[in-house]
Structure 1
Amino acid sequence: MSNQDRIKNWRERRTARHADGEAANAIAVASVASDAATGLHGTRSGWTASDNVRNVLSGVLDALASAPRESVAGRRRIYDALESELDAELARDGAPPERAEFRRRQLRTVVRLLEADIRAGVDVLMAGYAPATLDADNARLCDGFDRRAQQRKQQEVREARRRASSEDVAFEVALQPQEAREVALLRERLAGIHARQHCARPGTLQSRLASIAPLLRIQLHILQNESRIALLWSVVGPAVLLSLISSLYFLMGTHYVLGMDVPTFSLLGATTWIMFRQTVFRTSTSYVAARWLINLEPVKPLSVAVVQGCLFIGIYLSVYAILIGVGHGIGLITLPVRWSGAIAYVVLMGAAGVAIGLIFGCIASTWHFFLRFAPVIERGLELFSSVFFVSEQFPEQYRKYVLWSPFAHGMQLLRSSYFDSYSSHDASVTYFVTALVLLAVLGVAMERIARTRVQPM
Structure 2
Amino acid sequence: MARSGFEVQQAAVKALFLREIRTRFGKYRLGYFWAILEPAAHLLVLLAIFGFIMHRTMPDISFPVFLLNGIIPYFIFSNISNRSVGAIEANQGLFNYRPVKPIDTIISRAILEALIYVTVYILLMAIVWLSGEYFELSNLIQLILTWSLLIFFSCGIGLIFMVVGKTIPETQKFLPIILKPLYLISCIMFPLHSIPKEYWPYLLWNPIVHAVELSREAVMPGYVSEGVSIEYLAFTTLLMLFVGLACYKTREKAMLTT
> What's the TM-score, normalizing by structure 1?
0.52
Do structure 1's residue 242 and structure 2's residue 47 form an aligned pair? yes
Task: Decide whether aligned partners of structure 1 residues 242 and 288 sit closer, same or farther in structure 2, where only a CA change above 3 A counts.
Answer: farther
Do 2:72 and 2:117's aligned partners in 1 also have CA atoms closer than 8 Å? yes
> What is aligned with 1:293?
94
1:255 to 31, 44, 59: 59
1:433 is matched by which residue type in structure 2?
A
- 1:431 equivalent in alignment to 2:235: no
| Secondary structure, counterpart of 1:213 in structure 2 | helix
Q: How does 1:62-73 map to 2 (within 5 A)?
A: none
Q: 1:448 aligns with which of 230, 234, 249?
A: 249
* 2:62 and 2:133 in contact (8 A); partners too: no
Inter-partner Cα distance in structure 2 for 1:429 and 1:280: 21
> What letter is aligned with 2:189?
F
* Match of residue 3 from structure 2: 200
TM-score norm. by structure 2 comes to: 0.88
In structure 2, C-alpha distance between the alignment counterparts of 1:331 and 1:447, rounded to whole Å? 48
Q: Which amino acid aligns with 1:340?
A: I
The Cα of 1:371 is off from its aligned counterpart by: 2.4
Q: CA deviation at 1:404?
A: 1.3
Runs of 4 or more, structure 1, over 6 Å off, are none
Gap runs ≥5 in structure 1: 1-194
Amino acid at match of 1:269: G
Per the TM alignment, residue 225 of structure 1 is displaced from its structure 2 partner at its CA by 2.3
Question: Are the structure 2 counterparts of residues 212 and 440 from structure 1 closer, same or farther at C-alpha, using a change threshold of 3 Å?
Answer: same
Query: Displacement, 1:268?
Result: 1.0
Match of 2:19 among 198, 214, 218: 218
Give SS of 2:256's match: coil
CA contact (8 A) 2:35 2:116 kept: no
Shift in alpha-carbon separation, 1:243–1:356, aligned structure 2, 3 A: farther
**CA distance in 2: counterparts of 1:439 and 1:225, whole angstroms:** 33
- Structure 2 residue aligned with 1:351: 152
Larger RCO of the pair (alpha carbons < 8 Å, separation 6+): 2
Give the number of equivalent residue pairs. Answer: 254
Q: Distance in 2 between matches of 1:437 and 1:226?
A: 37
Q: Deviations over 1:243-287 (max 9, x none)?
A: 34434413x44323xxx3222101111222122211212223224
Shift of 1:405: 0.8
Paired letter, 1:415: R
Contact 1:328 1:335 in 2 (8 A): no
Counterpart of 1:241, as a letter, is: L
Distance change (3 Å), C-alpha of 1:323 and 1:378 = same
The whole-number CA distance in structure 2 between the counterparts of 1:353 and 1:413 is 17
**1:396: how far off?**
1.5
The separation in 1 between residues aligned to 2:257 and 2:133, in whole angstroms, is 49
| Offset from partner CA, 1:56-112 (integer Å, 9 cap, x none) | xxxxxxxxxxxxxxxxxxxxxxxxxxxxxxxxxxxxxxxxxxxxxxxxxxxxxxxxx
Deviations 1:383-437 (A, max 9, x none): 2222122321111211112111111112111111222211222101211110011
Task: Say if 1:345 and 1:410, in contact at 8 Å, map to a contact too.
Answer: yes
Among 289, 302, 312, which residue is 2:103 paired with? 302
- Cα gap change, 1:336 to 1:386, in 2 (>3 Å): same
Which residue of structure 2 aligns with residue 388 of structure 1?
A: 189
Conservation of the 8 A alpha-carbon contact between 1:294 and 1:300: yes
Structure 1 residues 244 and 413: alpha-carbon distance in aligned structure 2, compared to 1, 3 A threshold: same
The amino acid of 1:370's aligned partner reads T
Flag the 1:374–1:248 CA change in 2: closer, same or farther, 3 A.
farther
Residues in 1 aligned to 2:250 and 2:212: alpha-carbon distance in whole angstroms: 31
- For residues 427 and 378 of structure 1, the distance between their equivalents in structure 2, rounded to whole angstroms, comes to 21
Distance, in Å, in 2 between the alignment partners of 1:410 and 1:374 is 22
| Deviation of the 1:220 alpha carbon | 2.5
What is the letter of the counterpart of residue 396 of structure 1?
K
Indicate whether 1:276 and 2:81 are aligned.
Answer: no
The equivalent residue for 1:315 is 116
Question: What is the one-letter code of the residue matched to 2:64?
Answer: P
Give the whole-Å Cα distance in 1 for the aligned partners of 2:117 and 2:171. Answer: 26
Residue 456 of structure 1: how far off its partner (Å): 6.8
Residues 269 and 411, structure 1, Cα contact 8 Å, conserved in 2: yes
Alignment of 1:93-172 (within 5 A): none
How big is each residue's C-alpha offset from its partner over 1:346-399, in whole Å with a ceiling of 9 and x where there is no partner? 232232222212211111001212222133211112222221223211112111
Classify 1:230/1:315 alpha carbon distance in 2 versus 1 (closer, same or farther; 3 Å).
closer
Q: 1:232 aligns with which of 12, 27, 37?
A: 37
Change (3 A) 1:400 1:246: farther
Contact 1:336 1:419 in 2 (8 A): yes
SS at match of 1:211: helix
Whichever residue aligns with residue 48 of structure 2, its letter is S
Mapped to 1, the partners of 2:150 and 2:47 lie a distance apart of 18
Which of the residues 403, 407, 410 maps onto 2:211?
Answer: 410
Q: Within 2, Cα distance between the matches of 1:278 and 1:420?
A: 29
Alignment of 1:30-109 (within 5 A): none
